Amino acid sequence: MSEYKNAVDAFAAWDVDTEAALARLKSIPISMHCWQGDDVVGFEKKSGSSGGGIQATGNHPGRARTPDELRADLEFSYSMIPGNHRLNLHAMYLDSDETPDRDAIEYKHFETWVEWAKTQNIGLDFNPTFFAHAKADDNLTLSHPDQSIRDFWIEHGKRSRDIAAQIGREMGSACVNNIWVPDGYKDTPVDRLAARKRLEASLDAMTEPSHDKAHLLDAVESKLFGIGVEACTVGSHEFYLGYAIRKQMLLCLDMGHFHPTENIADKLSAVSLSLDRILLHVSRPMRWDSDHVILLNDDILAVAQELVSADMLERTSIGLDFFDATISRTAAWVIGTRNMQKALLRALLQPLKQLKKAEAGLDFTSRLMITEEMKDLPYGAVWSEFCNRMDVPNGLQLIRDLDAYQASVTERGM
Ligand code: RNT
Ligand code: ZN
């Protein structure tokens, strides 16, 4: 407690209210992605890899093989993360004895997730799955030249929206349904426009049925390139930025979906002028869209800082998107989600008024002095206090708990 008291004083000297920051942090839900728990395999009772230019690498023991195992891992992980959060489900994670193809999924196949989420007091988000399927093997789905393939995926997308809307209604909290398709070309296409027109028409057909925004929020996710689609991604940033603005959808910005030196932090305020809501896929690309577990690094801090500075927290859904199969999958979830929260906490603990004043007055020296001196403040003590109040472990105890849980799942087969 005394460490925290000292921290309160240290921040107060900069005119920063730690209690206000903690209260705000507590209210920010992070949508944790289900696919970190099983290396993006899903429960469709078929073998195969994720495909679509994404890949989980590694074979650390303990991969969740069933919905029950995944839920157990999630329950443990949420118990290590302060606050109430959300789960981001992919359509391939249905929980049913039935084996519907993607164009035949229904709400009932996901009902156990809803019942479970209610007992856990967590929210739910959803995604159609346009990869890891025979009809997506050539990395073309909604933009496929073959109408019957497009129709199959349009039906999948429609059903996913219906399911997401019903989830949102059941949960009493709008379900974000994020549309990402892998569509693209390995080598330089000659008719990019035709492919983009097909994608546009398919999206139009898929999202034509209207749903109450209180239950369903449609999002579209752009990408620069993926493995096997190096030359052209049909759903590029420009494509979806325009589409989301025209259709008043959420734009999903994934941190791994841009040129390696680009940070989405700079894009947030820019797109905020034309969009009501934004979805983030917080990730850590390493040389490519490698989806490493997020660190508390400059990239994440910059994103959090922009969300706070541009007052975008209320209209941003924060989702995570990483999958590392070389380490404990539960530890990956916990570390990554806590890092997102730590970044938000640091952003909330900035002396924003002073910084903005210095900048508006072209006093860039003061701006730099403040940001750099602030780096010495006791953020760790404020975070520890938050963990204590929210009754989750921290530091060495966290490591012991993560290790113990991992040891308990090590015996699971691959
Ligand atoms: C792929 C996208 C997409 C997926 C998930 C599994 O590059 O980032 O969001 O990672 O839908
Ligand atoms: Zn993503």
**Residue ranges of domains in the chain, CATH in brackets:** 29-348 (3.20.20.150)
259 is catalytic: no
**Mean residue pLDDT across the chain:** 96
Is residue 55 classed as helix, strand or coil in its secondary structure?
Answer: coil
pLDDT band at 165 (very low <50, low <70, confident <90, very high): very high
Angle at 26 between CA 328 and CA 221, to 5 degrees: 65
pTM for the model stands at 0.97
Is the confidence at residue 258, as pLDDT, over 70? yes
Q: How far apart are CA 9 and CA 131, in angstroms?
A: 52
Can you give the pLDDT at residue 53? 78
Q: CB of 158 within 8 A of CB of 203? A: no
Can you give the pLDDT at residue 70? 98
Q: What is the mean pLDDT of residues 115-121?
A: 98
pLDDT band at 12 (very low <50, low <70, confident <90, very high): very high
State in Å: Cα 319 to ligand 2 middle: 9
State in Å: Cα 230 to ligand 2 middle: 17
Can you give the pLDDT at residue 337? 98
State in Å: Cα 183 to ligand 1 middle: 12
267 is catalytic: no
Best of 57, 139, 264, 281 for a ligand 1 pocket test (most atoms within 8 Å of beta carbon): 281
Can you give the pLDDT at residue 46? 73
Can you give the pLDDT at residue 159? 98
254 is catalytic: yes
Matching residue, tokens 């979805």: 279
Q: How far apart are CA 299 and CA 316, in angstroms?
A: 17
Q: How far apart are CA 202 and CA 181, in angstroms?
A: 11
281 is catalytic: yes
State in Å: Cα 221 to ligand 2 middle: 7
Backbone angles phi, psi at 199, to 5 degrees: -60, -45
291 is catalytic: yes
Q: What is the mean pLDDT of residues 393-402?
A: 98
Q: Could you tell me which residues are annotated as the binding site?
A: 257, 289, 291
Atom of ligand 1 nearest to the CA of 223: 7
- What is the tens place of the pLDDT at every residue in 286-308? 999 999 999 999 999 999 999 99
- Of the residues 33, 215, 223, 267, which is catalytic? 223
Ligand whose nearest atom lies closest to the CA of 282: 2
**What letters, b where the CB count within 10 A reaches 16 and e where it falls short, cover 361-391?**
eeeeeebeebeeebeebbbebbbbbbbeeee
- Pocket of ligand 1 contains residue 127 by CB under 6 Å: yes
* The two three-digit tokens of residue 172, written as one number: 């009493």
- Pocket of ligand 1 contains residue 183 by CB under 6 Å: no
Considering only CA atoms, which residue is closest to atom 3 of ligand 1? 180
359 is catalytic: no
For residue 281, list its beta bridge partners: 254, 319
Atom of ligand 1 nearest to the CA of 221: 9
Is the confidence at residue 5, as pLDDT, over 70? yes
Q: CB of 143 within 8 A of CB of 93? A: no
Can you give the pLDDT at residue 49? 61
For residue 282, list its beta bridge partners: 320
Percent of the chain with pLDDT over 70: 98
